[in-house]
Amino acid sequence: MLPRRRARVGRTGGAEKKRATRMPDYTVMNQLLYEGKAPEVQAMTQQAIDDGITPQEVLSRGLIAGMSVVGEDFKHNRLYVPEVLIAARAMKAAMTVLKPLLSASSDDSDRRCTIIMGTVKGDLHDIGKNLVCMMAEGAGFTIVDIGVDQSAHAFIQAVNEHNAKIVGMSALLTTTMPYMQTVIEALESDEMSHIKICIGGAPVSQMFADEIGADGYAGDASSAVDLFKSFDDQFAMSS
Ligand code: B1M
């Protein structure tokens, strides 16, 4: 359980005081997320945005920071699946506020290629994948999110159907990450080795990506967008 702390009291003057009153109390926000209070977390997220805080800051200090405490307590059996699900639901509620802001593309002429995103078979975690989708959409990519627990066949079908150039796979479990290799091998045997394959998720690493023959690895959503951009720039140069 996160320690309950008293709300910060601003004792500064002038502009600093103004900023202090506008800053969300991230400790409270982390605690509300931990307790799975979806309406409250969503309202605090909306308030922070209305007060001019960037969506990236609210996401990392308010939501991801809270979720990492949930993860730690889950790991040490201080929290169980139902509580984690409730916290995840609160995070998702807050993300509905951030999604349009993270996905808002500045200019349609910036449109980039189509990416198939999914969480691999056996794995139901989708918060990180959804964040990658939102941020990539914001960078001008067309995202086809095929969801969680997806087979190699589903990835291949989506690539064909949407004429995609990149596949992004997410895995959060050490037991499901090997399935990424199954997808890569299936794409290769279907003569799709020109498709760039990017992987991510907490247990995944650059070393694992190299081992299974993925084209790229990203540790977080913004690195994923940089990776997608580098591949898209290569496509533009070679066409
Ligand atoms: Co689960 N879970 N979970 N879980 N869960 C973990 C992953 C775990 C590490 C918790 C722990 O023990 N500390 C552990 C895995 C241990 C392991 O494999 N070694 C675990 C376990 C064991 C399980 C179950 C087996 C528990 C059980 O049933 N006994 C079970 C499995 C269910 C299944 O999938 N078949 C399970 C279930 C669940 C819930 C359903 C309750 C829920 C998921 C809800 C949902 O996603 N809709 C859940 C949650 C919430 C977590 C933790 C607490 C949080 C994950 C999360 O959302 N993080 C997690 C602990 C942890 O990770 N610290 C845990 C926030 C998110 C923003 O980060 O997903 O890492 P992340 O995404 C990042 C980057 O990784 C990267 O960018 C994202 C944004 O920066 N990224 C990509 C992710 N995907 C990418 C794809 C890309 C690029 C970058 O493509 C190019």
**Would you state the pLDDT for residue 40?**
97
Measured between its terminal Cα atoms, the distance across the chain in Å is 54
Tokens 């990776």 belong to which residue? 227
Tell me the pLDDT band of 107, cut-offs 50, 70 and 90.
Answer: low
**Would you state the pLDDT for residue 7?**
33
Q: Which two tokens stand for residue 27?
A: 């400790």
Residue nearest to atom 67 of ligand 1 (CA): 128
Q: Is the CB of 58 under 6 A from ligand 1?
A: no
Q: How far is the CA of 57 from the centre of ligand 1 (A)?
A: 21
Q: What is the mean pLDDT of residues 226-234?
A: 95
Tell me the pLDDT band of 108, cut-offs 50, 70 and 90.
Answer: low
Residue 20 predicted with pLDDT over 60: no
Q: Is the CB of 123 under 6 A from ligand 1?
A: yes
Q: What single string gives the DSSP state of each residue in 32-85?
A: HHHTT-HHHHHHHHHHHHHTT--HHHIIIIIIIHHHHHHHHHHHTTSS-HHHHH
Q: Is the CB of 95 under 6 A from ligand 1?
A: no
Q: Is the CB of 221 under 6 A from ligand 1?
A: yes
Those residues with Cβ within 8 angstroms of residue 232's Cβ, 6 or more apart along the chain or in another chain: 112, 113, 141, 165, 166
**Would you state the pLDDT for residue 110?**
65
Q: What is the mean pLDDT of residues 53-82?
A: 90
Q: Is the CB of 168 under 6 A from ligand 1?
A: yes
**Would you state the pLDDT for residue 222?**
84
Q: Is the CB of 170 under 6 A from ligand 1?
A: yes
**Would you state the pLDDT for residue 106?**
52
Residue nearest to atom 51 of ligand 1 (CA): 71
Handedness of CA 204, 205, 207, 213 (dihedral sign): positive
- Residues 151 and 80: their CA atoms lie apart, in Å, by 28
Q: What is the mean pLDDT of residues 108-112?
A: 70
